[in-house]
């Protein structure tokens, strides 16, 4: 893999990841862009004990452009995009409309009782373009291309974890208009958060409570071992990875992919696991595209890497120990519950965070085994 870092016309960084060591990436960004001016603030919710980002500048972000004006396609004469090069393998650049940006700043606690805590939304948001082919998808990539994306995710995780104020790095892909995607070019995003996300904090608490209750056993290890022993919800069991529909799946079709053995983040993956990943992940994505038959060949989905936080405010040695107990895993799920019908997060899910799943996890796993590649 060859890595090349350049700057766009407004000062944002763009990084190219190439399969060929002799690739040259030096095309200048010829667009007449002003320097970026963005600001993010995070505000603390004392009732839920979690942070919310407030980002007014994102109201003006690009929305459903025509294919011939896609900002993620390579630039060509007469049409300049976010990618100055005429072609690329994988390109990563700072989001023009980031949810988190800049460095850390002091926390202010306003209001009569100091309950209105807020501080700068330090961090960084990046766009990851998986391929220059606008009509492709991650599922249509070759194994070599998928491995390059994995290497890019890993490299960005390592770099973003060093940014001041960043606590957690989240690599993810949204696919499909049903998910809310506004750009159809195959791409994902990376968020470098200035806090540990509520979902991760909750998993860490559950793992700590389980360890205390069981004399030090690891919750993630025992969940994976239990799913393998049960077998009903296993979708794919390879040498270095296992994928299953969780026993209490929230979504109609939801798969969790874990490496064997447990590691806290992408950086800690073994070379053997990295080498096997493309085949395993591409097979899962291709099965997802077959769930609802040939008339709906592109299943909308979210693919999300859960990684341990790299630092957490005030946790000290206890936080460092908890980090090593966390298990890297990828969560893949679709909002489609059956052909032509979506799973909407209505009153129970959105109002009370209680999911109601119409598809039994065992049936979902069976369907995902039925549509395996032959």
Residues serving a catalytic function are 187
Ordered by where they begin, the domains of the chain are 2-193 (3.30.428.10), 198-370 (3.30.428.10)
pLDDT at 348: 95
CB 273 within 8 A of CB 164: no
By percentage, how much of the chain surpasses pLDDT 70?
95
> Tens of pLDDT along 241-300?
999 999 999 999 999 999 999 999 999 999 999 999 999 999 999 999 999 998 888 999
Flag whether pLDDT at 191 surpasses 50. yes
Flag whether pLDDT at 318 surpasses 70. no
String of DSSP letters for 224-268: HHHHHHH-TTEEEE-SSEEEE--TT-SSSEEEEEEESS--SSGGG
Flag whether pLDDT at 235 surpasses 80. yes
Phi and psi at residue 194, to the nearest 5°:
-90, 20
* Higher-confidence position of 333 and 36: 333
Flag whether pLDDT at 60 surpasses 70. no
pLDDT at 317: 43
Task: Say what the pTM is.
Answer: 0.94
pLDDT at 319: 59
Separation CA 204–CA 308 (nearest Å): 9
pLDDT at 38: 78
pLDDT at 316: 45
For residue 316, how many other CB atoms are within 10 A of its CB? Answer: 9
């Amino acid at each position: 893999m060859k890595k090349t870092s350049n700057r766009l016309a407004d000062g944002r960084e763009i990084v190219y990841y190439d399969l060929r060591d002799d690739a040259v990436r030096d095309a200048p960004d010829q667009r007449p862009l002003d320097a970026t001016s963005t600001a993010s603030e995070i505000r603390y919710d004392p009732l839920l004990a979690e942070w919310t980002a407030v980002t007014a500048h994102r109201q003006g972000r690009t929305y459903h452009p025509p294919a011939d004006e896609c900002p993620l396609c390579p630039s060509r004469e007469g049409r300049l995009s976010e990618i100055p090069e005429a072609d690329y393998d994988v390109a990563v650049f700072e989001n023009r409309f980031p949810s988190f940006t800049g460095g850390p700043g002091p926390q202010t606690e306003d209001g009569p009782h100091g309950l209105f805590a807020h501080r700068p939304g330090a961090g960084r948001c990046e766009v990851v373009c998986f391929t220059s082919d606008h009509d492709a998808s991650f599922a249509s990539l070759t194994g070599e291309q998928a491995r390059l994306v994995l290497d890019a995710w890993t490299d960005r995780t390592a770099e973003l974890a060093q940014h001041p104020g960043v606590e957690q790095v989240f690599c993810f892909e949204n696919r499909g208009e049903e998910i809310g995607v506004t750009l159809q070019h195959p791409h994902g995003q990376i968020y470098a958060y200035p806090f540990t996300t509520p979902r991760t904090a909750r998993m860490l608490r559950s793992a700590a409570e389980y360890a205390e209750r069981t004399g030090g056993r690891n919750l993630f290890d025992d969940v994976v071992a239990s799913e393998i022993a049960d077998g009903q919800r296993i979708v794919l069991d390879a040498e270095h990875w296992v994928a299953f529909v969780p026993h209490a799946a929230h979504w109609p079709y939801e798969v969790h992919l874990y490496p064997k053995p447990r590691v806290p983040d992408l950086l800690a993956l073994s070379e053997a696991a990295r080498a096997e990943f493309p085949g395993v992940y591409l097979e899962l994505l291709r099965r997802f595209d077959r769930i609802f038959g040939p008339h709906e060949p592109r299943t909308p989905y979210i693919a999300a890497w859960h990684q341990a936080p790299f630092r957490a405010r005030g946790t000290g040695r206890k936080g460092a120990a908890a980090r090593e107990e966390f298990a890297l895993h990828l969560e893949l799920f679709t909002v489609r519950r059956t052909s032509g019908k979506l799973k909407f997060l209505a009153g129970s899910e959105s109002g009370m965070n209680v999911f109601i799943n119409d598809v039994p996890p065992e049936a979902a796993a069976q369907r995902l085994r039925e549509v395996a590649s032959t």
